[in-house]
Structures are given as C-alpha cells and as structure tokens.
Structure 1
Amino acid sequence: MLPNSVDLPLDINSVKGFLDDDEAKALYQHAIAAAQRGPILEVGSYCGKSTVYLGAACKQHNSVLFAVDHHRGSEEHQLGEEYHDPDLYDVRFKKMDSFPEFRHTLARANLEEVVVPIVAPSVLAARFWSTPLAMVFIDGGHSMEAALNDYRCWSGHVMRGGLLVIHDVFPNPADGGRPPYEIWKLAQESGLFEALPLVKSLGVLKRL
C-alpha cells in the first residue's frame, strides 16, 4: 500500500522546475516503495525539484539516489529558447549551468548525504554502470536521440519488480512532444515492462 502524504524537507514551490503536483506525489509514492528494495536513479535533475521528492523517499529507507545530469540544459533551456532562465546562464562560458542551483537545493533540503550527483551526459555516466536499480526516472532531453539514449542506457539496469518512470508522456500529439511517449511504448513492446496507469504525463512501468 503506497502512502498518501508527501513529507518534504523544504517548501517545494521555492525550487525551480516543471513537475506537476499530482505527478510529483505519484513519483514520491512509488519512490517510497522502491527505496525499500534498492537505490534509485534519475536522469535530468535540473534544479532539483524531482530530486527532492526522490531523495526524501530514499532518506526514509536509508537508500541512495543517483542524480545524472550534465547541467548544461536541454534544447529548450538554451539562450533565446522558450524555457531559458537567465539566472542559470553562466556568462563566463556562455553556457547554461544549473548545477550551483541544484547543489543549493540539496543543501536546503538536507539531502547531501543521500543524493550522489553525477555531472555528466547520460551516455557517459552509463558506460560502465553495473549497479541494479530499484527505480529509474527519465526526465532528460526530449529530442528523439536524447530520449532513446536515456532509455537504452538505463532501462536494462532496472531490477525485476523495479520501476521505470518516464516524464512527459503524451499519448495525444497535440499535448506535447513525442520522444518520451515513444520510449514509453518501446518499453512495453520490449516485453520486459508492464505499464501501470498514467498519472497525467507520468508513465510508470514495472519490470517483469
């Protein structure tokens, strides 16, 4: 039985991010169950909103969250794009950099002893990965290449009975981009995962 309440260590509205409240609650509930079985990994931390939910769940069960993000932003975060945030732009290198804000979030949430930041592209971080994972949350770049890379790199590390969770899954093309939906479908077609009901755009799949 999953818990209905969300016990967070800080005001989550003070953290930059794009996670819907209902989706965040579902993410936390599934993470509570998963953290009892092993470590969790997320791809795409940004400023740490999802990290707080996942990390708080891990902390309750003395588990660990691996947070993979190169912190240079996705396509939509770049200078001149729709979701660009000038506060996260490093003028010295002319690059977006969310890592300082991410570290600030971890400190405020008292999660520095729970979360292991991996500041690297997803493909590089996964190259020699061998640790079985109780849950993988994919919320990285939304290009087809990025989504496929994240799926191919990490889905195979989900332990039996574990969860693969994908954000921004939109069955209706009018609602959003296709790549997260496409990898959600690929997971089902692989025969290795069974889809649980969508929570808005949060796709949850259980490893068989």
Structure 2
Amino acid sequence: MASTPPVQGLSDERLRAAEEAPGFMPLDEAYALHQTAATYLSQPDSVGLGVEIGTYCGKSTVFLGAAAEANDALIVTVDHHRGSEEHQPGWEYHDTALVDGHSGLLDTAARFRQTMFDAGLESTVLGLLAPSTAAARIWGRDVDLVFIDGGHSMEAAQNDYDGWARWVRPGGALLIHDVFPNPEDGGRPPYEIYRQALDSGRFTEESVHGSLRVLRRVR
C-alpha cells in the first residue's frame, strides 16, 4: 500500500499498519470502504456504530476504524479467528506464521490486536471473538453499516447475510466484499447474497468499487 495524505484519520502510520497486516483487500477498495464508512457514520441520523464480519488480521478494519474515530463512532469487528476455509492447511491462503503452537490451529487474534495497536485504534475498534452466527444471536441494535467479508462458502456467506443484514438501519449501508458476477473471476457465495439483498427489495445498489458492493437500505 502506498502512502497518501491523511484523509478522515488515515495517517501515514495507520496506512503502514494496514500495509503490514496480512490480508487481501486491494488499496482502491480499502479507500472506498473508508469513504463509505465515513459517509454513513456522519449522517444526521447516524447511531455511531458499524459492524465488520470477518476481521482476519485487521487490514480492512484500519480503514473502518479511521473513519469511525473521525466521526466519534465505534466499529465492532466479528471473527472466530480460526480462519476461513481457504486459510486451513493445504489450502491456497494458509499462513503457517499464524498457527497457534498450543492448539495447532490458525489463530489470528493476536495479529489483529497488533494491527489495532500499531494503528492507534484500540479505543475505537471493538473485537468480538465469536462465530458470526453466535454473535448475531446476542446482537440487539441497529447499526449504520454492516461490512460482510467473512467465509466464502455458501453456508458461511448465507449465515452472515441472514444474521446481520437485518441490523442495518433504514438509510444505512450493507457492504459485501468479493462480489464477482462472472464465475471465472471468483467464488459465487458473496455474489449470491448480494443478489438476495437486491431481490429482497430492502436494499438498492449505491456504488461499485472493484469487487466491493455498497447497498443502501431503503426499507
């Protein structure tokens, strides 16, 4: 990631923390995520809260957190920190440096905390260590935005959509990452829940940024 002038709390130090964190979000999509969060967290009817589903090591969380801090808001980021399917041994994105020696399982929680420490966002970003389905069961309030970037199996994507899209306030935003209409470009589950959101009549497409889709809740 290249350094740029600070925008809504994105200092060079925070950009460096995001760059050094393991993760997969392209810089242009990360900036779009930041701009969208800043927009929805600063609206007159904002409730001052956004949710990210799928933390990994906190790369995209830096961009959400910077926007939240600039608007006196909070971000809750939800992850079990054991990695998605593609992060497991034998899969393309497995990173042995993130394996916990005690359990023998992937554990990205400490690396996420390091990213938030380096970015100076520990008071703005609240890490919820739990499966998305379990966290959704105890949730109970509207939010300004939900960013879905969790597991890419159909079951995981469906659970994220079913559990969290309903908490977007009217006028708020649902963001879905890795949406590829062409099956040759990437996995289908994020595209499928994106289509479900549009077909529900509750959301309308606001903007497209690479594989990032921004939907606004209309009812």
**TM-score normalised by the chain length of structure 2:** 0.91
Instruction: Say if 2:107 is the partner of 1:126.
Output: no
Structure-to-structure mapping, 1:34-113, within 5 angstroms: 34-36=40-42, 37=46, 38-113=48-123
What is the CA distance between 1:196 and its match in structure 2? 2.2
Deviations 1:89-147 (A, max 9, x none): 11210100000000000111110100111000000001021111100000000000000
Structure-to-structure mapping, 1:117-156, within 5 angstroms: 117-156=127-166
Aligned equivalent of 2:31 = 25
3-state SS, counterpart of residue 144 of structure 2 = strand
Pairwise CA RMSD: 1.2
Q: Distance in 2 between matches of 1:44 and 1:128?
A: 17
Q: Distance in 2 between matches of 1:54 and 1:77?
A: 23
Moved more, 91-100 or 172-181: 91-100
Identity of aligned residues (%): 50
What is the CA distance between 1:5 and its match in structure 2? 4.3
Q: Which amino acid aligns with 1:35?
A: L
Q: Distance in 2 between matches of 1:47 and 1:87?
A: 12
**Mind listing any 5+ residue stretches in structure 1 that lack a counterpart?**
none
Instruction: Say if 2:184 is the partner of 1:186.
Output: no
Aligned equivalent of 2:3 = none
How many residue pairs align between the two structures? 205
Q: Distance in 2 between matches of 1:190 and 1:136?
A: 17
Instruction: Say if 2:183 is the partner of 1:177.
Output: no
Aligned equivalent of 1:16 = 22
